[in-house]
Structure 1
């Protein structure tokens, strides 16, 4: 039976190494576009909100809620499609679709139109992660997949590293609408290149059946019966709240408090933050990887150690007025957050039975997306409006500092999860 086969003994994929590496390169570029199209709203917000006359509360709501609702609701059915139909066509079509939506966002004339664009963007981008994961698994042998997925994870930081300075320049020279038009057109060209030059890899053997059957809901119920899984998911959700708040409102903070122009914001929030994030992902892969090979308990120890650090680095970024200090805080925040994100994958996958690992990943991202895209931006926007009368331009500083406190909740939850995590890993491995 397929479910009883040893995964390490499975036949290698019938894709040449050159073709697989080329496809991986394009997948990394697609992932970078995914990140830029999703996140560039943070860069254009100072110009956009002034022109569209949106309050901070409305901006925070529109930035997160429509995207999160559509992203979360479409990810699971699109993953089902990716498991059964042509993945290359699905990803190329999704990239073309969300790129068109990105271009159309530049024509928004009201908060309602912006919300509709964010909703449609979530539908397209929700196909990215499951389709990309399936393509990589079908093109690389088991022993090569860790490196391939690490490269894909690092490409999320390539987007801001390269794309944000370009978006910042377009903002400074031509305005926020032109930035959306240009980014959308570039994405459509990337979709055409992907469709024309990448071949659909053959599918391997089916994975193990879901223990107990019953589909996604039954699988989630079984996972939630594992104590450390519940805590890890909640910890990931609160970490996402901090990330969502920081990514959405960080550029606005730099514009209001430090009076930076769009091009400078794109440089600091793109190049500086992107380089620090790449360094953090590399640290997680090399240093933490060595520790885990010596003792599996480091797999949960290091996330516990770094979970609360974004709160401290964010305070440095928000409170410091000396340029070197707030830039150091911004870089440190990206560095420790990248470590936390990179280590979150094995943290929840290793405590799931083999037949429920895809379900564990889908549910984790469902919770993280809803909490991060909704609570993070909305919390800062609402608190900024509340504090505006007393704090003026500094209201956003206080609001972002309050939202960063969610990192401390993530730390406490992971600390509690660490008590039973190794036992839950042993139990999951015993189910293999």
Structure 2
């Protein structure tokens, strides 16, 4: 296809789409105080709205749409998803209660589930092995830029025109970009010998078989998923800093937006570049890079929850936490997709998104909201601080351990190869 002759242009387009998707997804976080107040939503409901609602739709549909992208045109799958999520973003601006917001956000998640599985598999095809980590890191810039822009929009456009108008504008922008994509074909590259995926049932069976037999991929996926237990800290950031740290909501939105853009972008870029530079030097490959990133960042992230807001460590810890989460994406995605057959890359990534959203986003935010509500009822001071500190520690310890396991298996495999070759 003609558009595949310009990989950098494809990457730039996917970056813009990913940015818009992340703004649409996270704009709810930027308006958390306003929306929870106007719609009378408590902590548990809010945790369900920003967590479980997504896994009920995004997680499941990421697998289905990933399998569809392995068989059909990836740009068309992405374009159709954009139309769905953009129309439902507009609908989110009209809701009048919690139930209506749940329905609207459920469908936003359904549309957005098409993007990451299809886009990452496409980038794996278009870029060489030496540049894939960097390409993935650039693509995942959409996450920090999207989260950052959502907070900035809430503190600027939202403060002037309100959260409903902001939703309308975002939805229209997505429709304008998504329509042309639905007309684009996607002939697989013969240079990469990329096969098309099997029908859904057979494709899922093949993916499960691959995960059972490939410990490096299995452990890397587990580490990637568990490291995202820090996500509740992002979801409850506005509420935590407003209620327990006494900070101004508009100031928080602007500050977090700027830090997400700066340090999240640095994390995405550094993680991608480091994966290309360091993974070939480590016997544990990408998994060793991932474990190193977690180890270096952990002390600062813990300090962030414990020190007062006037301490320099507070903002350093916030910056490092934002950096760490985004630094994992380029290396983890390259490691996972690079270790499985090309015909199932989108499906495997979709399955990873399902697990991530199920355990870290949905259950994580729901449990944090429920426990914090229980602590409030029990009269415990600073309930969110206690719960989010535990959530962060679990993410760092468990995520790091699984990355180390993946690196160990990778090292053992590399040592056994020469012996196997001598026997043959």
How high is the TM-score relative to the length of structure 1? 0.84
Offset of 1:31 from its aligned partner?
0.3
- Matches of 1:16 and 1:219, distance apart in 2: 27
The residue number in structure 1 matching 2:55 is 68
Q: Could you say what the CA RMSD is over the residues aligned between the two structures, in angstroms? A: 3.3
Worse-superposed segment, 179-188 or 324-333? 179-188
- Matches of 2:118 and 2:47, distance apart in 1: 29
Offset of 1:317 from its aligned partner?
2.4
Mapped pair 1:409 → 2:398? yes
C-alpha distance 283-101 of structure 1, shift in aligned 2 (>3 A): same
Match of 1:423 among 408, 412, 415: 412
C-alpha distance 177-262 of structure 1, shift in aligned 2 (>3 A): farther
The residue number in structure 2 matching 1:9 is none
Match of 2:373 among 374, 381, 385: 385
C-alpha distance 88-364 of structure 1, shift in aligned 2 (>3 A): closer
- Matches of 1:176 and 1:119, distance apart in 2: 18
The residue number in structure 1 matching 2:163 is 176
Q: 1:161-199, CA deviations, whole angstroms, 9 ceiling, x for partnerless residues?
A: 44431232133223322332232233233335x549x85
Secondary structure (helix, strand or coil) at the match of 1:378 reads helix
CA contact (8 A) 1:106 1:180 kept: yes
| 1:255-266 alignment, distance < 5 Å | 255-266=242-253
- Matches of 2:401 and 2:114, distance apart in 1: 33
Offset of 1:137 from its aligned partner?
5.3
The residue number in structure 2 matching 1:107 is 94
Q: 1:306-351, CA deviations, whole angstroms, 9 ceiling, x for partnerless residues?
A: 3355653333322222343322111010112222233212343455
C-alpha distance 394-310 of structure 1, shift in aligned 2 (>3 A): farther
The residue number in structure 2 matching 1:190 is 177
CA contact (8 A) 2:291 2:404 kept: yes
| 1:159-308 alignment, distance < 5 Å | 159-192=146-179, 194-195=180-181, 199-200=184-185, 202-205=187-190, 207-208=194-195, 214-242=202-230, 244-307=231-294
Secondary structure (helix, strand or coil) at the match of 2:141 reads helix
- Matches of 2:285 and 2:76, distance apart in 1: 40
- Matches of 2:25 and 2:222, distance apart in 1: 23
Offset of 1:49 from its aligned partner?
1.2
Secondary structure (helix, strand or coil) at the match of 2:50 reads helix
- Matches of 1:302 and 1:314, distance apart in 2: 18
C-alpha distance 163-143 of structure 1, shift in aligned 2 (>3 A): same
Mark the runs of 5 or more structure 2 residues left unpaired by the alignment.
none
Worse-superposed segment, 70-79 or 116-125? 70-79
Offset of 1:134 from its aligned partner?
4.9
- Matches of 2:187 and 2:195, distance apart in 1: 18
CA contact (8 A) 2:62 2:351 kept: no
- Matches of 2:151 and 2:28, distance apart in 1: 11
The residue number in structure 2 matching 1:339 is 327
- Matches of 1:352 and 1:85, distance apart in 2: 19
- Matches of 2:233 and 2:96, distance apart in 1: 26
C-alpha distance 106-210 of structure 1, shift in aligned 2 (>3 A): closer
Match of 2:82 among 95, 99, 113: 95
Q: 1:369-408, CA deviations, whole angstroms, 9 ceiling, x for partnerless residues?
A: 2112212211210121011145567211112112112221
The residue number in structure 2 matching 1:7 is none
CA contact (8 A) 1:165 1:267 kept: yes
The residue number in structure 1 matching 2:24 is 37
- Matches of 1:413 and 1:145, distance apart in 2: 23
Number of residue pairs matched by the alignment: 414
Offset of 1:107 from its aligned partner?
1.9
C-alpha distance 391-332 of structure 1, shift in aligned 2 (>3 A): farther
Mapped pair 1:370 → 2:361? no
- Matches of 2:111 and 2:196, distance apart in 1: 29
The residue number in structure 1 matching 2:336 is 348
Q: 1:281-326, CA deviations, whole angstroms, 9 ceiling, x for partnerless residues?
A: 2222334532223334353223223335565333332222234332
- Larger relative contact order (C-alpha < 8 A, sep ≥ 6)? 2
